[in-house]
Amino acid sequence: MSFPKFKPSAISLAVLVLSCSLAQAQVQVQAQPAAPAADPAAIQTMPTVNVNVSADATASGLPAEYPGGQVARGGRLGVLGNVDQMNAPFSSTVYTQTLMQDQQTRSIADVLQNDPTVRVARGFGNYQELYMIRGFPVNSDDLAYNGLYGLLPRQFVATELLERVEVLRGANTFINGATPGGGGIGGAINLVPKRAPNDPLTQVTAGVDSGGQAYLATDLARRFGPDNSTGIRVNLVRRSGDTAIDNEERQLSVASVGLDHRGRDFRLSADVGFQEHKLDQSRPSLLLAPGIAVPGAPDASSNFSQPWVYSNERDTFGTVRGEFDLAPDVTAWAAAGARRGSENNSLANTTATSAAGDTSTYRFDNARRDTVTTGEVGIRGKLRTGDVGHALSATASTFTLKSRNAYAISDFAGFASNIYSPVSVAAPAADFFVGGVLSDPLLTQKSELSSIALVDTLSFAQDRLLLTVGARRQTIKEKGYDYTSGAETANYDKSAVTPVAGVVFKPMQNLSLYANYIESLTKGPVAGGTALNAGEVFAPYRSKQKEIGAKYDAGTYGMNLALFTTSQPMGVLNGSNIFGIDGEQRNRGAEFTVYGAPVRGLRLLGGLTLLDAKQRRTASGANDGKDVIGTPDLQANLSAEWDVPGVRGLSLSGRVLHTASQYADAANTQKVPSWRRVDAGVRYVTSLGKQALTLRGQVENLTNRDYWASAGGYPGSGYLVLGAPRTLTVSATLDF
C-alpha cells in the first residue's frame, strides 16, 4: 500500500512559518523565572500516561458521551480538530457506538435514520447509499474516514468498523476541503474508527434477520506496555443469507485492525480494513417516464429485479496518523491513507412507463477499479495577546484518485414488465453500447485535489465570545480519458479560495448563540456539445451559506435550533443557446434537534426539519419557484428508549419517522406521497455464568407500510426507491 508524498510548495512553507511563529510565541508568552533544581530521584520518574484513546491521536481523546450515551458532546471539525459543540459555530450531531450497537445498525444509512436533518436515498443506477442533508446530496464517495476522504468502500460501509458517526450540517469546504464526489454543500459525514478501550474487550455477537440472513461479529481489544500505552482492536464480521425482500440475497465480510500508541509527547494510530459486499437480485430504483403519474408503491417485500442482477464490491484500505507536541500548547500532525477498490455489476435499469406500473428495463454492466492516495499535514497552537486568546491552525491536504472503468449496455428499447406483477427474463446481451473491456478496464478518470487552510479562533471576555475566521485555497484538477482508446478527452484545472466566519456568544454557561458564513466548492461544469460555447470550462461552483442558531445544554438533555439559507449556482442553457452559470438552487430552512436523558431511565433523540428548496433563474423561467427534486418540506424523527422500572436490565424503545411529500421531477408534475414509519425494539441485559449477555430485538417498519422512501439523489434525476418491508432483527452479545 503506497502513501502520498507532499511536494515542497507554498503549502508546506505556510505550515512551517506558522509552526515557527507559534513555537516562538509560546516561548515569549510562557517564559518564567528558572525553577529550583529538581530532585534527582524525581527526574527518574516518568509521569503516568492517561490512556484516553482517540482515533485522531489527540491528547484529550474523544469528546465525552452525553447523558444517555447515544450522542457525544462534540466531534471533529476538520482543521479545527475536536470541538465541543457548545463552542462550535456550526450545527452537528455525533452518534456513538452505543447507539449503533443497541439499534443493531448495519450501515451508515441505518445510523442516519435517527437524524431529522438527513434522509437516505440511493446513487443513480446503482445501490450506493446516498444521504440528503439540508436538501443536498452527500454520497458515499464524500465520506471522510478519520478526517480523510475517499478511503472507504463507495457503495456501503459497515458500522462494525466505527466508533462514531459525526454529522456536520451545512457547507463545509473550509472545514474539510473540497470533496472528491462533488458534495459538501448540505453537510459532511466523518466516520471515526474504533480504538482499544482501557479495559480488555472480548465480545461476540450472533444474530439473524427476517428472511434468514445470519450474522456473526467478533470485537477484540487489548492494551499493552507501560501504562497500557499501546492498544490493538480487531473486528471481524460476516453476514450471509436472504433479506426480507423476496429473492434478495446479501453477503458481507469485514475485517479491520486498529492500532494506537501514546507516548509522553506524541500519539500514533493506524488502521487497516477489508470489506467485501455482494448483492444478488437486489431490488433496483425506479425511473419515471416524463409526464406519467407516480405509480402507487408496490408491496414492500416484493421484488421487481431480475435473477441475473448482481453487485460485487471489494475494498482494502488503511490510514496512519501521528500527532506531536512541539511545545505545551503547540501540536503538529500528519496523516496519510490509501484504498484499492473493485466493483463489478450487472444491473437492471428500470423505468416506469405508466401509472399502472408498466416498465421497460435494459441491462447495464460495469466494472470499476479505484486507487486512492490521500494525506494531510498541519499544526495547531494556542497563545494570548493581551486579553485575547488565539487558537491557530494551518493545514495542507492532498488527494488523488485514479479510476479505471468499462461498461456494456443492452438495447435501450429493453424488455417489458410490471412492478406489481414482475416478469423474469433471460439476461439480454449487453452488446448494444460498449465502452472498454469489462475484464480489463482502462484509466478513464484522474482526480487531484490539493488545498491549504489557515484559521484563527479568537476568544474574548473569558471565552464567552468566540470568533472564528479563516480561508482555504483549493485546487481541483481532473482529467478524463476515452473508455476504449485511453486517449485524453478532458482536462480541468481550476483554483479558488473559500472563506469562513463564525461567531459564538455565551450569554449563560449552558446557552450558546452562533452565526456563520461559509462556502462550499465543487468542480465547475464544461459546456456541452449542443451549446454554442461547447467546451468552455467554468470555474468551480461556490455555494454560499448563512446560518444562525442556538444551543442549550441542560446537563442531562440538550436542544439545538438552526436557521439557514444556502444558494447553489446551476448551469443553464439560455435562449441564445449559450451555456452559463446563470441558474440557482436556494435551500432555506429551520432545524430543531433534541437529545439526552431528561429523566432517569428515559433517553430521547429526534427533532424536525422545515425545508424550502426552490429553483431560481431556470432556463426560460420554466421552473422558477418550483421545488427541487427530492426535497420534502417537513422531516421529523422521534425515538425514545425506556428502562422498565422493576425489571433490571430491560429496556424498550420506539421510533417514528415522518417525511412529507416531495417531487420526482423539476416541473413538479410527479408528486411522491408523504410517508410515516414506526420502529420498535427491546433490549435485555443479564448474565450467562460470569459473562454479561445482552439480548436485542428490533422491528423496522412495524406496520409493514408500503411507501416510496426517496425521490432522486443524483442532481436533476427523480428516480424512486421503495422502502424496506417489516424487518425483524434479533441478536445476542456475549462479553467474555
Percentage of the chain modeled with pLDDT above 70? 92
C-alpha–C-alpha distance, residues 550 and 89, integer Å = 9
pLDDT score at 10: 37
pLDDT score at 570: 86
CATH number, domain of 555, equals 2.40.170.20
Per the DSSP assignment, residues forming a β-bridge with 212 are: none
pLDDT score at 56: 56
C-alpha–C-alpha distance, residues 474 and 493, integer Å = 11
Per the DSSP assignment, residues forming a β-bridge with 519 are: 544
C-alpha–C-alpha distance, residues 508 and 427, integer Å = 66
Phi first, then psi, for residue 701 (nearest 5°) are 55, 60
- The HSE-up count of residue 87 (CA atoms within 13 Å, CB side) is 21
C-alpha–C-alpha distance, residues 111 and 211, integer Å = 22
| CB distance 672 to 661 below 8 Å | yes
Question: Does residue 47 carry a pLDDT above 60?
Answer: no
Pairing of strands 727-735, 691-700: antiparallel
Tell me the pLDDT tens digit for each residue of 704-721: 999 999 999 988 899 999
pLDDT tier for residue 23 given thresholds of 50, 70 and 90: very low
Q: Is 444 exposed, middle or buried (0-12, 13-18, 19+ CB in 10 A)?
A: buried
Average pLDDT, the chain: 91
Q: What is the mean pLDDT of residues 180-192?
A: 92
Tell me how crowded residue 670 is: count the other CB atoms within 10 A of its CB: 23
DSSP state, residue 627: B
Q: The cell 470568533 sits on which residue? A: 467
Q: Is residue 486 part of a domain?
A: yes
| CB distance 472 to 497 below 8 Å | yes
Q: What end-to-end distance do the CA atoms of the chain give, in Å?
A: 35
C-alpha–C-alpha distance, residues 239 and 205, integer Å = 12
Question: Does residue 675 carry a pLDDT above 80?
Answer: yes
Phi first, then psi, for residue 411 (nearest 5°) are -55, 125
Work out whether the CA dihedral 111, 113, 116, 119 comes out positive or negative.
Answer: positive
Grid cell locating 418: 410490471
Tell me the pLDDT tens digit for each residue of 595-624: 999 999 999 999 999 999 999 999 889 999
Identify which of 650, 657, 658, 654 has the alpha carbon closest to the alpha carbon of residue 639: 654
Q: Cα angle at 518 between 517 and 519, to 5 degrees?
A: 140
Residue 237 belongs to domain spanning: 48-735
C-alpha–C-alpha distance, residues 568 and 542, integer Å = 7
Q: Is residue 511 part of a domain?
A: yes
Contacts of 424 (CB under 8 A, 6+ apart): 306, 307
Tell me the pLDDT tens digit for each residue of 70-126: 999 999 999 999 999 999 999 999 999 999 999 999 999 999 999 999 999 999 888
Tell me the pLDDT tens digit for each residue of 437-460: 999 999 999 999 999 999 999 999
Q: Is 224 exposed, middle or buried (0-12, 13-18, 19+ CB in 10 A)?
A: exposed
Q: What is the 3-state secondary structure (H, E, C) of 490-546?
A: EEEEEEEEEEEEEEEEEEECCEEEEEEEEEEEECCCECCCCCCCCCCECCCEEEEEE
Per the DSSP assignment, residues forming a β-bridge with 388 are: 385
Distances (CA, A) of 76 to 88, 199, 246, 545: 10, 25, 41, 20
Q: Is residue 527 part of a domain?
A: yes
pLDDT score at 32: 37
Question: Does residue 26 carry a pLDDT above 60?
Answer: no
Pairing of strands 388-409, 415-418: unpaired
Pairing of strands 129-133, 136-139: antiparallel
3-state secondary structure of 14: helix
C-alpha–C-alpha distance, residues 662 and 508, integer Å = 40
Q: Is 131 exposed, middle or buried (0-12, 13-18, 19+ CB in 10 A)?
A: buried
pLDDT tier for residue 45 given thresholds of 50, 70 and 90: very low
Distances (CA, A) of 150 to 296, 404, 448, 519, 631: 37, 15, 12, 21, 26
Q: Is residue 25 part of a domain?
A: no
C-alpha–C-alpha distance, residues 106 and 102, integer Å = 11
Per the DSSP assignment, residues forming a β-bridge with 403 are: 370, 445
Q: Is residue 710 part of a domain?
A: yes
Helix (H) or strand (E) holding 727: strand 727-735
Question: Does residue 434 carry a pLDDT above 60?
Answer: yes
Q: Is residue 463 part of a domain?
A: yes
C-alpha–C-alpha distance, residues 345 and 354, integer Å = 27
Higher pLDDT, 565 or 43: 565
pLDDT score at 33: 38
Q: Which of 13-17, 325-329, 528-532 has the highest mean pLDDT?
A: 325-329
3-state secondary structure of 726: coil
Q: Cα angle at 639 between 633 and 644, to 5 degrees?
A: 165
Tell me the pLDDT tens digit for each residue of 581-596: 889 999 999 999 999 9
pLDDT score at 209: 95
pLDDT tier for residue 57 given thresholds of 50, 70 and 90: low
Q: Is residue 484 part of a domain?
A: yes
**pTM of the predicted structure, to 2 decimals:** 0.91
Identify which of 204, 228, 224 has the alpha carbon closest to the alpha carbon of residue 216: 204
Q: Is 439 exposed, middle or buried (0-12, 13-18, 19+ CB in 10 A)?
A: exposed
Tell me how crowded residue 682 is: count the other CB atoms within 10 A of its CB: 15
Looking at the structure of the chain, the number of domains it has is 1
